[in-house]
Amino acid sequence: MPKKSSPQKSREPSVRALAGTVFITRQVHFNSAHRLYNPTKSLAWNQKQYGMCTNPHWHGHNYVLEVTLKGQPDPVTGYIMDLARLKKVLHTAVVDKCDHRNLNDEVDFLRGIIPSTENLVIAFWHEIAPRIHLPARLHCVRLYETPRNFAEFFGPAHH
């Protein structure tokens, strides 16, 4: 007696979502000039406080901005956020506004702020945060002014 063939079940590939909080980081670069100067203080005070960084003819940096997001990977894409999309966000929020600009005079969201690295990471956070959507959450903004000098900000909730 011939063996009956059994109907084959079509097997959909299974996809597993792995649980865990993941941190992803994107790095972008821009070049800007600035002057550290507090207009409420005397020139002598500014020179003593900031030294060469208060040069009235400005000085520049090759900045490196690193932005870290955290979250649970989406079960469909496996992403917290597509890094190409994060790159676009960083360019729209910061790089396109700051690259080859004078941070004191040409960047609207920095007007009236002393553009120290510390103030810049806080200002950049506020520009980036509204553009980040779940499942991603903004975790850290780190700005390198030089390869040896950087500041990082973990958001207004961290004191």
Residues annotated as catalytic are 53, 100, 145
CA distance 67 to 55: 30
The residue among 91, 141, 145, 94 whose CA lies nearest residue 121 is: 141
| Cα–Cα distance for residue pair 19/57, rounded to 1 Å | 53
Per-residue tokens: 90: 């960083």
At 37, list the tokens: 């100067």
Report the candidate in 137, 104, 136, 132 with the shortest Cα–Cα distance to residue 119. 104
